Chains A and B, each alone.
Chain A
C-alpha cells in the first residue's frame, strides 16, 4: 500500500533575511546574509558574537501585527504569529475551526525571553505577572492557534534543533493517517540571553560569520526566526483545486544515542534518519538533487553529518549547501525555515549558496555549493539534528 501524498499548499516565514517568502528568496539569490551584531537586547557578548537577528523590536512587531499591546505576547509568539498568518494567506485558507484542522508548532526557548527579563521582578511587581504563564513552550502555540482561530488539535514539539522537522513530520503523519485534512506545521524561536550563554558555555559560538563545511570553521551563529507550512491531504487539495507548492514525500527520525549534546563521529543517528526518509519517500539516494544540510559550522556537526552523507551517498554526494550563513542557526525553527528554502529550491530550480566557504574539509572529497546555481531541482533532502541525539530528515519533491 502506498503512502498517501501530503501536499504543501502554503508557507510563511520571518527571518534575519526577510519578513516574507519573497524577501527571503531575494536575499538567498543575491547572497545577502542577515548575520550581524546583537542589537535588540544587551548582553555581555554583544560585540563578541554574530547573530541572525530580526531587526524589529517586540513593540514594532506587535504594531505590525495589530495585536493588543496590553497583552502578554513573547517574542517567540510574535514571530510565530507573523509567519503563520502569512502561511494561511498563501494557502488561501479561511475557516480554520473544526476538528479537521490542526497546528503542530515547535519551539525550544518558548517564553524564556520574558522569563529572563522578569525572573526576580515577578516576586515584587504584580503588573508583570501576566507574563509568568508565557514561559512554557505550549504558550506560543496556544497564542498562535488562538490568533488563527484553530480550536482542534494543537500541540508543541521540542526536541532542540530538530524540533520543526519533527513538527512537520507529525503533521504529515496526521494527514497520512486520515486524522486531519490540513495542518499548520513549523516552528518559532527568539534569541535570548539564556540560549546565547548556553551555547557559549559549550564553546561552539563563532566570533566570525559561520563557515559550514569549511576546514577552518569555528562554530555557529545563533539566529531567530519562524516559519510555517500548510500541509493538506490530496482530497483536500483536489476538492478545492489548490495549487501545490511541493510534496512532503518522506521523513525519518532516529536517535544517535551517543551523547547528550555531541554527535557521534560516524554520524549514526543522521545516517539512520536519512535512510528512513529515503525509504519512506520510496526513492533511491541517487534521486536526490540537492541537500539542504544541517551544517551549523561547528567542528562536531559538520564532521558527523559529512560522514553520514558519505555513508549514504558514497563519493556521489548530491549538490549540497547550508543556508545557516544567511540566517544563523535558528534552533527549533531551523528545519521550518529550511523547509521553505527547500521548496523554493524546487520552485525556482536553484541551489542556494553555502556562504563563507573557502577550505575543503580534509576528511572529505566533497565540498558544498558555494555560489548560487541554476539547476533543475525535483527532489530536496533537508537535515536537522538536535541535542539529545535527535536526528531528522525531510524529503520534498516537485511531483
Chain B
C-alpha cells in the first residue's frame, strides 16, 4: 500500500505578488504580452553580495521554496526537485552575448556557472545544506509535473517523508522577443485578456511555485496529492481516453470529481483541448488561473496551488471561475489538466484531507 502524500506548504511568486491569503481577492487580470513578476524585497533572505549576482529565477526560487518550507515548518527536506522549461535564461543570454559580441574573448565564468539548468535546485540545496536527492526536469510544459511525479514516487516508493518540489521560469528580453517572432507570445501592441483573446500567441509572464510534500498529515495540510500522469502527444479526440485511463486506476471514492482546474491561456489554436476535457464532466465548476499568472512553462504549478487552496478553504474565489457552474456540495476531488501547443499533457488529482 502506497503512502498517502500531503501538500503541507505552498510558496509562490507571480505577477500577482507572493502567495498570501488575499491573493485572489486582490488579483488583477493580465492583459499585456509580457508581465514581469511582482517581486518582494529579497533582503534578509539572501545576502546582499549574492543578491547582486543572482538572476531573478534563482531569487524567485529561493523565496518561494523558503515560503513553502516555512509554512510546513520544515528546515531541511529530504529531497529537492525542480522543474523549469527554459532554465536560467538571463545568465545564458548574458554569457552568449559575451561569446558573440567579443569574439569569445574577455569572458568571465559567473554567468556560465549560473546558466546551468539545475542552478535553482542547487542553490536551494547549498543554502539549506541539504545533501539529499536533487533533480531538475527541463521539459517544456511538463517540467513541473515531471518533478511532481518524481516527488510522489520519492514519497510513495522510496521512503522519503518530506520533499520540496517546485517550478520556476524567468523572463529574459532577447529570448522573449524571439518567442514573439515565433508566434508563441502575443505582440506588444495587443491588449487582450485570456477570455477575449483573438490574436495568435498568449500572454507570457514569469514566476516560481513551490510545495512541501509529506507523508504526514499536519495542521497546515492543504490537500492530498493522489496521483498524476503525463502524456507527450495526443489528439483532441483522445483526451477522453487519457482521462478515462487515469480515472480507472483511482479508488472509487476518488472518481467523483467536484471541480476542474485547467490551463486555459487564450491560445485560439489549442484551448480546444480544454473544451474537450471540460465536456467530460457535467455541471461542475471549471477554474482557470493563467489570466492571473500568465503563461510560462511551469505556470501549471500555480494551477496545483489553486486546487490545493480551494480544497483547503472549501471556497472558490470568484476570479477563478471560467464557467458559470457553481459548486453545490462540498469539494472533495479536483482534477487539474494542462497542455501546451497540444503537447505535454498532464492530469493531476488532488483530494481534500
Interchain CA distance A138-B341 in the complex, whole Å: 14
Knowing A99-B245, A158-B87, A257-B126, say if A201 contacts B118 (CB, 8 Å). Answer: no
Task: Given the known inter-chain contacts A155-B137, A177-B157, please indicate yes or no for A269 contacting B178, CB distance below 8 A.
Answer: no
Given contacts A142-B140, A150-B232, A194-B96, contact A387 B118 (CB under 8 A): yes
Chain A positions 109-134 with a Cβ under 8 Å from a chain B Cβ: 110, 115-116, 119-120, 122-123, 126, 129, 132-133
Query: Of B104, B158, B177, B233, which is within 8 A of A43 by CB?
Result: B104
Q: A260 to B118, alpha carbons, bound, how many Å?
A: 10
The proximity string for A residues 307-333 relative to B, scoring 1 for CB distances below 8 Å and 0 otherwise, is: 000000000000000000000000000
Contact B131 A257 (CB under 8 A): yes
- B96 → A minimal CB distance (Å): 6
Kindly provide the distance from the CB of A235 to the nearest chain B CB, expressed in whole angstroms: 17
Given A135-B175, A177-B153, A387-B116, is A159 in contact with B135 using a C-beta cutoff of 8 Å? Answer: yes
| Residue among A99, A103, A153, A260 making CB contact with B123, cutoff 8 Å | A260
A156, CB-defined interface residue at 8 Å: yes
Chain B residues with Cβ below 8 Å from A254 are 131-134
- A173 contact set on B, CB distance < 8 A: 150, 153, 157-158
User: Which chain B positions have C-beta within 8 A of A272?
Assistant: 131
Q: Give the number of A-B contacts (CB < 8 Å).
A: 200
Per-residue B-contact encoding for A132-156, CB less than 8 Å = 1, 0 else: 1101111001100110001111111
Interface 0/1 of A374-388, CB less than 8 Å to B = 000000000000111
Number of interface residues of A (CB under 8 A): 67
Q: Does B191 contact A (CB under 8 A)?
A: no
B231 touches A153 (CB 8 A): yes
Shortest distance from the beta carbon of A73 to any chain B beta carbon, whole Å? 17
Which residues from 244 to 276 on chain A have a C-beta closer than 8 Å to any C-beta of chain B?
253-261, 268-269, 272
Question: Which of B130, B150, B230, B245 is in CB contact (< 8 Å) with A255?
Answer: B130
Q: Which residue of B lies closest to A159 (CB)?
A: B118
Taken together as a complex, chains A and B put the C-alpha atoms of A201 and B117 apart, in Å, by 18
A-B contact pairs, 10 of them (CB 8 A): A110-B138, A129-B181, A135-B175, A136-B138, A145-B232, A160-B118, A174-B153, A253-B134, A272-B131, A389-B134
Sample of 8 further A-B pairs with CB below 8 A, known A110-B138, A151-B233, A390-B122 = A129-B182, A146-B233, A159-B117, A173-B153, A194-B95, A197-B112, A260-B114, A386-B118
Q: Identify the 7 closest CB pairs spanning chains A and B, nearest first.
A: A388-B122, A198-B112, A158-B117, A154-B232, A137-B138, A201-B109, A44-B104
